[in-house]
Structures are given as C-alpha cells and as structure tokens.
Amino acid sequence: MIGYILFGLVALVAIVSAVGMLLSTNAIHAALFLVINLICIALFYLGLNAPFLAMVQITVYAGAIMVLFLFVIMLLGAEQVTLKSQLKWQAPLAIVLAVVMIAATFLLFFNVQASGGLSPLAPISEDPRQTETFGSPYAVGEVLFGAYLLPFEMTGVLLLVAMIGAIILTRNEAGGMRDEQRAASNE
C-alpha cells in the first residue's frame, strides 16, 4: 500500500514538472523543471530494482546533460522565450492530436489488460533468489562487459566522434575573426 502512495506522489511531481516545462516562458525555469522530472525518473528506477541506472541517471542526465543545457542557454542569452507562434492553427491542432493520442493509448491499454494480453506484466515474479540480485551493479556490469562488450567499446568511439564534431561545429573560422567582426562584415 505504501508503495502505491509513494508512486502516486512521485508520479504527480513528474507530470506536474513536465507540464511546467511545457508552459514556462523562461528557458532556465524550463531546464530546472526538467531536472525535477529527471530526478523523479531516477526514483522510479530505484523502485524498479535498478539502483545502478538511478545513479547513472542522476550523474549523467541531471548532472552533465542539464548543466550543458543551462550553459548554452546562458551563453546565448536566450532565457526569455515566447509561447506565440507564427502558425496560428498549429497549437490547437497539436493539443487536439495529443488528446486523441492519450485517449487511444489508454483505450488500447485497458483493452489489452482486460483481455489478459499483458499477463507477464500483471504479476511481478517474486522468486527471492532472482529479485535479490536483479539489477545490482554487479549483475549489470557482468552483462555490460560480457555480451555487450563490443557495443560498449563502440560507444567510446561514438563519444570521441561527438566531441570532435562539437569542437569543429563551434570553433571560429581559421582567420580568427571574432563573432562580432564577422557579423559586421556580413552586413
């Protein structure tokens, strides 16, 4: 019972922070709302026997990625954003489509559940020998460095390529012209 109450509370915070992110007119506030949302998801990971992923979620997402977001927002001075769009018909259409998609998802969901199609999901396997070690850093590491060793090494190459790409995309041109000078010479 207490698990349901905790789940409901954290789920409420997650949904409210997601809606807050959608509606805020300040990009910094939106980023902070997203941090709350990511921490809520880390708590869900804890509830789903994934402590390793919860810690990775907090360090990588709420830490590194959101710091990068905040850094770019402040660097560009793009804090103030408007909700207005040049396409007047788009916002109502998007909301209508979202409501239709929510309705369709839940209809499908309850239909499948009523017909017992999601039987593996309904009962949680409660074999203590399995659940005790499931999702521990040891168990995850064993699979990560066993069956997934090659993909794991390839993500290292991927990160290197991304680092080089980000440097090349954001560097100044070889002439060493500053941004302001180049903007002036373009005009």
Residues 84-103 that bind another protein (CB under 8 A): 84-87, 90-91, 94-95, 97-98, 101-102
User: Binding to another protein (CB under 8 A): which residues in 56-75?
Assistant: 56-57, 60-61, 64-65, 68-69, 72-73, 75
174 sits near another protein (criterion: CB under 8 A): no
Q: Which residues contact 82 (CB under 8 A, 6 or more apart)?
A: 25
157 sits near another protein (criterion: CB under 8 A): no
For another protein, which residue of 9, 74, 111, 113 counts as binding (CB under 8 A)?
A: 113
Q: Which amino acid is at 15?
A: I
Tell me how far, at minimum, the Cβ of 115 lies from another protein, in Å: 14
- Write down the residue that tokens 């026997």 correspond to: 49
Is residue 38 within 8 Å of residue 61, measured between CB atoms? yes
Nearest to 48, CA basis, from 105, 6, 106, 108: 6
User: Binding to another protein (CB under 8 A): which residues in 12-31?
Assistant: 14-15, 18-19, 21-22, 27, 30-31
Count of residues touching another protein (by CB under 8 A):
91
Cα angle value 136/139/143 (rounded, 5°): 140
149 sits near another protein (criterion: CB under 8 A): no
Identify the sign of the CA torsion 158, 164, 166, 169.
negative
